């Protein structure tokens, strides 16, 4: 049995059998809430490997495209922030890139800022859509 299947079964037990058998209000609510938490966790675990792989793939595609933008060569702050995303491949580096983009907005101009942010947001949208599959 896989971990997420086990969690799913415990969540169902809590919701359908254990929770309804509890009379006191607070523990009853907590039992139902435990069921919800386990359901979410089961969904997250079930998708973890796929999400990690797709996330890495999306990030690689993002960096590859950003490196083709002229400002990657002309703007040292943007180049450095983009390279940091490539190296670290994590959300903290992505946050720094976004902050850098806003800081460089005036220098970039609205059209180029929109182009960079639009491409970054495409990656963010794909990531949040994956998380919504178990979070919503």
DSSP string spanning 23-61? -SHHHHHHHHHHHHHHHHHHHHHHHHHHHHHHHHHHHHH
Minimum distance from residue 10 beta carbon to other proteins (Å): 14
Q: Which C-beta is closer to other proteins: that of 50 or that of 131?
A: 131
CA pair distance 94, 97, nearest whole angstrom: 5
Q: Which C-beta is closer to other proteins: that of 57 or that of 131?
A: 131
What residues line the site for other proteins (CB under 8 A)?
Answer: 25-26, 29-30, 33-34, 36-37, 40, 44, 90-92, 94-95, 98-99, 102, 105, 117-118, 120-122, 124-125, 127-129, 131-132, 134-136
């Amino acid at each position: 049995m896989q971990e997420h299947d086990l969690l799913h079964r415990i969540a169902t037990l809590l919701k359908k059998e254990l929770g309804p058998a509890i009379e006191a209000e607070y523990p009853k609510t907590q039992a139902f809430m435990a069921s919800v938490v386990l359901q979410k966790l089961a969904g997250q675990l079930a998708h973890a490997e796929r999400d990690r792989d797709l996330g890495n793939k999306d990030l690689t595609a993002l960096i590859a495209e950003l490196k083709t933008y002229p400002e990657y060569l002309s703007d040292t702050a943007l180049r450095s922030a983009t390279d940091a995303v490539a190296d670290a491949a994590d959300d903290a580096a992505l946050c720094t890139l976004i902050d850098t983009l806003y800081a460089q907005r005036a220098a970039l101009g609205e059209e180029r800022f929109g182009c960079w942010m639009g491409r970054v947001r495409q990656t963010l949208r794909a990531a949040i859509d994956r998380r919504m599959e178990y979070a919503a």
